[in-house]
Chain A
Amino acid sequence: MKIYGLFLISGLAVGSLYALGGIGLVVLRRATGFLNFAYGAIAAASAMFCWQVMAWGLPGPAAWIAAILTGVALSLLFGWFIAPGLAWREPVVKAVATLGFALIILGAVSFLWDDAARKLVLPTDKIGIRLLGVRVTMTRMIAFAASLAVVVGMVVYLEKTRVGLHMRALADNRDIAAMIGIPIVRIETIGWAISGGLAGFTGLMFGDLVRLDPTVITFMVIPAIAAAICGRLQSLPATLVGGLLIGVSEAMLTLVKPLAPLRAMAPFVIAALVILWMQRRQQLTFVTED
């Protein structure tokens, strides 16, 4: 039984990272209609810049802030200069545009930093507690707590604030929202900034807890999207649960020897099952303007 506890804790730790990514995607999707495939690449660039700031000898807090600001800046870059031109296009066109942006960022990151071995270390890595036999570092606890806090915070923000109301109105119907005078550009900018900040934070956590590898961090967008699909690209709590479920499933599959080498497919399988379940209810999954 103890062994299951080990893998449960391990899975929750990774799942909270997937959830963080998924939450950032859902927030942006709800505010702007974009499914941002560049989320992982933005996170990767943020993590690499954080490492660079530390390598320059600047204090840790400056590097952490730099990571988040890098995420915000890259996200706003797309949000200001590319997204407006695609505002009235189909969701799939928007998504493909973000995929292109992801490739540009990944190329730039590879150009700026070669693939020499690097490590991102946070002071919270040294602090930890034992839970079911697994040492859980403060960094992992921060990642888990942050995913919960962001869900709660964003739900409150969307439900209780005027900007949140505008975001929901935009997500429901962009045409009508524009007609009734909602400041679309400002609201979307806030959405891009929040999502970018979350991407920066996710990159920081990934770089520390998984590994500082731009490619690996870039492609963490896949399980993050799977988590977001579990939330139907709308529900933040369901996205959190989806991310944790994917993380735990992936970890538990390690115990099933024939499936252990294939456990990386867990996000796809779970996302596919969720889509099938939603199809069963005859509900359109990605369309918002019917």
Chain B
Amino acid sequence: MKLYQMSAIAASGWLYLGLTAGAMAAEPVCGLNNAEKASGEPILVGGINGNAPPGDFSGGTDAAAAYFACVNDNGGINGRPIEYLVENDQWNPELASQVATKLVKDHGVVALVGNGSVVSMAVNARLYVEENVMVMASACAISDCYENSNIVSTNQGPLPSGIGAMKYAIEELGTEHVACIGFNIPNNGGWACDWVAKYMESKGKKSSALLMDPASVDLNSVYLQALAEGVDSILLMLPAGPALGILQVAEEQDGRDTFKWISPTPLYDPSIPGTLGDYWDGHVFVNIELAPFDSSGNDNGNWVAVMDLYGQKGDRRDTFSQSGFLSAKFFVETLLTMDPDKIKRDSVTAAIKGISGLKSDLLCGPYYVGDFDRHMPNHAGRMVVYKGGRFEVVRACYDIESSYLDAIRQQERALNLID
């Protein structure tokens, strides 16, 4: 047994139980749900994750793999099983290109599902368009992922989630001037903080972008910079690790009450409550992109049930995992509407682009794809606060306002999803 698994059982077992108890489902419900094993010609589906230092983005493909296994045990795609080929790009651009080429050109997958890799999205965005293959991603965090005709992600990414957090902070916490602390990566931290600044400006508020190198060690100076800027709130537009580092520095400086502390989704992770401690009780507000892990909706309960029965030991149970489950579910529902003998890449791409108005309790709005040059179906979320060793919902589903979404709203009007 790995050390982290032992520690997870020892230190976080109670937390996991607490998170999932409310969402426990008796039996998973997958695809045709007829308890018959699929035995026809396999349908090849790909998935790429990034699982190596500096991060594990495998939650989406893990959950998709679990759901596909469940579907294969329950009639498959009208009798045809899904053969899910997952590759790890190890955060290596060269490898990301190789594995995408292998899946798309050599294996000829009909689509990619559950993808979660910052590197792969940037490197392979053009390949997906050229090869007319759709990616139903689950763990996107860069602009390339949301501004491509052939990639649609179920997770929001930092832009809507960050703006969602700011909307709550302005309306409920009285934020006037925020420091957006992000990575100095143009299509990630720079992109998201720029749009947060535009949002703040539209509300007559101020924003300062404090961008740092991902490997930056001196987080104390970043904190002091925020202090020097005279901001009243700090938006942690960072992955969980560095965000925790900033909170650690703030705790060291006893800066909890100096700022309002807000964050997009990355801090909403089962491992966070055990790490934050009593000091931050009631002071860290996080925007979440999908339903809470312990919510009682059917899809969330099914996610837990599928992961319990078909997931692998050590699979992550985070937002990316929920997102991967949902991407896989929508993908399967789409394939089930097709003639199983006519499932080819072109027909699958057309079918995915035809998705419109799918609903799930994991999402706050409808899921759609459409034949557009960009996709961001998930832009409404919820707000939670860290309290009593867990996260509590403080605002139910709400959408964001941003001119970034102008093109997205046009798509929704074209699909008759909004007026």
A contact set with B: CB distance below 8 Å: 3, 6-7, 10-11, 13-14, 17, 52, 55-57, 106, 110-119, 125, 128, 134-135, 137, 206, 210-211, 213-216, 218-220, 223, 247, 250-251, 254-255, 260-264
Contacts and interface: CB of A to CB of B under 8 A. Distances in A.
A13 B215 contact: no
A124 to B, nearest CB: 11
Given A117-B271, A137-B252, A14 B220 contact: yes
Contacts of B210: 260
Most buried by A among B2, B184, B225: B225
Contacts of B2: 111-113
Contact of A247 (B218, B225, B240): B218
Given A115-B56, A213-B241, A11 B218 contact: yes
B415 interface: no
Contacts of A215: 53-54, 215
B215 A115 contact: no
Interface residues of B, number: 47
Given A135-B253, A263-B212, 20 more contacts: A10-B221, A10-B224, A55-B7, A56-B6, A111-B2, A115-B55, A116-B12, A118-B275, A119-B248, A210-B217, A210-B219, A211-B245, A214-B53, A215-B53, A250-B218, A251-B221, A254-B225, A260-B211, A262-B213, A264-B215
B416 interface: no
A264 B222 CA distance: 12
A117 B248 contact: no
A250 B8 CA distance: 36
Contacts of A6: 224, 227-228
Contact of B216 (A113, A137, A264): A264
A219 B215 contact: yes
Q: Nearest 3 A-B pairs (CB), nearest first?
A: A264-B213, A211-B245, A215-B53
B418 interface: no
A40 B213 CA distance: 18
A11 B252 contact: no
B4 A117 contact: no
Contacts of A112: 2-4
Nearest to A219: B215
B53 to A, nearest CB: 4
Given A112-B2, A119-B275, A216-B215, A134 B221 contact: no
B130 to A, nearest CB: 33
Nearest to A119: B275
B225 A260 contact: yes
Most buried by B among A10, A106, A262: A10
Interface in B255-306: 269, 271-272, 275, 277
Nearest to B216: A264
Interface of B: 2-4, 6-8, 10-12, 52-56, 184, 210-213, 215-222, 224-225, 227-228, 240-242, 244-245, 248, 252-254, 269, 271-272, 275, 277, 314, 316
Contacts of A206: 217
A115 B272 CA distance: 12
22 contacts: A6-B224, A7-B221, A10-B224, A13-B220, A14-B220, A17-B217, A112-B2, A113-B4, A116-B271, A117-B240, A119-B277, A135-B252, A135-B253, A137-B252, A211-B245, A215-B53, A216-B54, A218-B53, A254-B224, A254-B225, A261-B212, A264-B215
B47 to A, nearest CB: 19
Contacts of A117: 240-241, 244, 269, 271-272, 275
Contacts of B241: 115, 117, 211, 213, 216
Contacts of A116: 4, 8, 12, 269, 271
Nearest to A6: B224
A254 B221 contact: yes
B215 A11 contact: no
Nearest to B53: A215
A21 to B, nearest CB: 11
Contacts of B242: 211, 213
A141 B133 CA distance: 57
A11 B221 CA distance: 8
B53 A3 contact: no
A230 B254 CA distance: 35
A261 B211 contact: yes
Contacts of A137: 252
Most buried by B among A7, A57, A137, A220: A7
A11 B219 CA distance: 10
A3 B221 contact: no
Nearest to A121: B277
Nearest to B213: A264
A211 B215 contact: no
